[in-house]
């Protein structure tokens, strides 16, 4: 990812690069960039230093290891960390640099290699206003989508973790429920149409599944192991903030199964095959792709399609509440969360509906808890009968049952926000 981001700066600014991979550095030399002999030499040469590494531990090693950036950094320079890292650890690094008069901010990205190459990747920047203003022209050269996520170093990384929890969680939840639908004999086209025509849609159903149905399936270049890392870090952030991460732990477990059984280098797209294997079915029907959009549309099976739609919608909603709980407990503003999530990979119809209103406690749905519980119990029974694991949706059903007992069956599904406030010890209103 770092190399693709750096390519956006070729010709826009005098560019000096350094990479452990000499071949990668040589590529940039051919593009007109200067190659520094060491990281320390690069730090001496540049006023603004951008880095994008797999983990915060890698950032610390590059910064303070032998021949590292810190040896060449001096007062007045600015480090922009685009790593999807651990916010608390990044704050520690920033404080150590600040003691020497060196500024640091974070600016992780979301949107994949394609978004990075096209200059549309989402950049989540955080740091002081002065540092943000100084870095903004450079970040704008990388992408037109730069969002300021807070004044504290680490806020951008926290926002990235919240976004990726929603991105991965909504994907896996949808795929598990879709696998059930396929075992019921429904076509992928009919399932996708039903989900996307109502309040259940998310990025996976709108982009990935719709693309498969339309014969335009896209392939990402994001390793499953890196998504596993991000979800693990979101759970760690929840622990630090005292927020239960019930659904995130299931998402992490599924991804860990994927990495452990498929290999650490497998791409995140392969989670569909993982869910297919676990459910003993095929989500992608070869006949669908051959026959074009919306083949074999279901006339019979409307009840099942309704249940599938509600199950995915229910998962999207509680994943949004769990992610928002982490964000609020960490100190992110809900207005920033709304702005970022609903323009990034964590988007769903649920996030679009509730995030703009969550801080004002406005009701956005008239659906009653008892009605949702009834539907989720029916879906759970279908999963048992069909032999579909459906781990996320089953747990979501249990959480809705708890909500109905505590809040009353006639309460709106929006009242589940109160359950999450109670569990996390937070208040959404005014956040």
Q: Of 30, 137, 122, which is closest to residue 347 (Cα–Cα)?
A: 122
3-class DSSP state of 11 = coil
How far, in Å, CA of 218 to CA of 146, rounded? Answer: 24
Fold of 159-424: 1.10.1040
**Domain layout of the chain by residue ranges:** 2-153, 159-424
DSSP state of 412: B
pLDDT computed for residue 292 by the predictor: 37
Dist. CA 369–CA 318, nearest whole Å: 13
Q: Identify the pLDDT of residue 287.
A: 58
Residue 407 token pair: 């809040």
Measure the CA–CA gap between 390 and 417, rounded to whole angstroms: 23
Query: Beta strand pairing status for 78-81 and 103-106?
Result: parallel
Give the β-pairing of 122-126 and 16-17: unpaired
Which neighbouring-strand residues pair with 207? none
State the distance between the two ends of the chain, measured CA to CA, in whole angstroms.
33
CATH number of 2-153: 3.40.50.720
Q: What is the pTM of this model?
A: 0.94
Burial of 170 (0-12, 13-18, 19+ CB in 10 A): buried
Alpha carbons 292 and 286: distance in angstroms, whole number: 10
Q: Where are the beta strands (DSSP E) in 95-193?
A: 103-106, 109-110, 122-126, 145-150
pLDDT tens by residue, the chain, 431 residues: 899 999 999 999 999 999 989 899 999 999 999 999 999 999 999 999 999 999 999 999 999 999 999 999 999 999 999 999 999 999 999 999 999 999 999 999 998 888 899 999 999 999 999 999 999 999 999 999 999 999 999 999 999 999 999 999 999 999 999 999 999 999 999 999 999 999 999 999 999 999 999 988 777 778 999 999 999 999 999 999 999 999 999 999 999 999 999 999 999 999 999 999 999 999 987 655 333 333 444 444 889 999 999 999 999 999 999 999 999 999 999 999 999 999 999 999 999 999 999 999 998 999 999 999 999 999 999 999 999 999 999 999 999 999 999 999 999 999 999 999 999 999 999 99
Q: Would you state the pLDDT for residue 156?
A: 98
Catalytic positions, written as ranges: 160
Spatial distance between the Cα atoms of 207 and 367, rounded to a whole number of angstroms: 27
C-alpha dihedral sign at 390, 391, 393, 398: positive
Q: According to the model, what pLDDT value does residue 220 have? A: 74
């Amino acid at each position: 990812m770092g190399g693709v981001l750096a390519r956006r700066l070729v010709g826009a600014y005098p560019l000096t690069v350094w990479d452990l991979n000499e071949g990668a550095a040589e590529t940039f030399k051919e593009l007109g960039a200067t190659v520094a002999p060491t990281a320390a030499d690069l730090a001496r040469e540049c006023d603004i230093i951008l880095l994008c590494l797999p983990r915060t531990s890698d950032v610390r090693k590059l910064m303070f290891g032998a021949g590292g950036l810190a040896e060449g950094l001096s007062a007045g320079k600015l480090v922009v960390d685009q790593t999807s890292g651990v916010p608390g650890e990044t704050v520690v690094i920033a404080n150590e640099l600040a003691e020497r008069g060196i500024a640091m901010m974070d600016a992780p990205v979301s949107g994949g290699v394609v978004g990075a190459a096209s200059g549309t990747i989402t950049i989540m920047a955080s740091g002081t206003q002065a540092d943000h203003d100084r870095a903004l022209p450079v970040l704008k050269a990388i992408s037109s989508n730069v969002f300021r996520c807070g004044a504290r170093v680490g806020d951008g990384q926290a926002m990235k973790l919240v976004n990726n929890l929603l991105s991965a969680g909504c994907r896996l939840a949808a795929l598990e429920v879709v696998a059930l639908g396929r075992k019921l004999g429904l076509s992928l086209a009919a399932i996708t149409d039903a989900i996307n025509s109502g309040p259940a849609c998310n990025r996976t159903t709108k982009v990935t599944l719709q693309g498969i149905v339309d014969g335009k399936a896209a392939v990402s270049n994001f390793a499953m192991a890196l998504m596993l890392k991000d979800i693990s870090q979101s759970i760690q952030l929840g622990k630090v903030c005292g927020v239960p991460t019930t659904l995130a732990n299931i998402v992490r477990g599924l991804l860990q199964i994927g990495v452990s059984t498929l290999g650490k280098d497998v791409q995140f797209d392969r989670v569909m095959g993982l869910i297919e294997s676990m459910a003993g079915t095929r989500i992608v029907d070869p006949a669908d792709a051959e026959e074009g959009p919306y083949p074999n549309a279901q006339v019979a099976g409307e009840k099942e399609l309704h249940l599938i739609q509600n199950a995915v919608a229910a998962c999207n909603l509680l994943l949004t509440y769990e992610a928002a709980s982490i964000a609020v407990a960490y100190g992110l503003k809900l207005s920033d969360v709304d702005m970022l999530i609903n323009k990034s990979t964590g988007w769903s119809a649920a996030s679009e509906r509730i995030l703009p209103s969550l801080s004002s406690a406005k009701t956005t749905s008239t659906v009653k808890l008892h009605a949702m519980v009834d539907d989720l119990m029916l879906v759970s029974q279908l999963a048992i009968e069909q032999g579909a694991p459906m781990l996320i949706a089953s747990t979501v059903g249990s959480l809705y049952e708890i909500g109905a007992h505590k809040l009353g069956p006639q309460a709106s599904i929006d009242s589940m926000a109160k359950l999450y406030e109670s569990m996390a010890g937070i208040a959404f209103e005014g956040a």
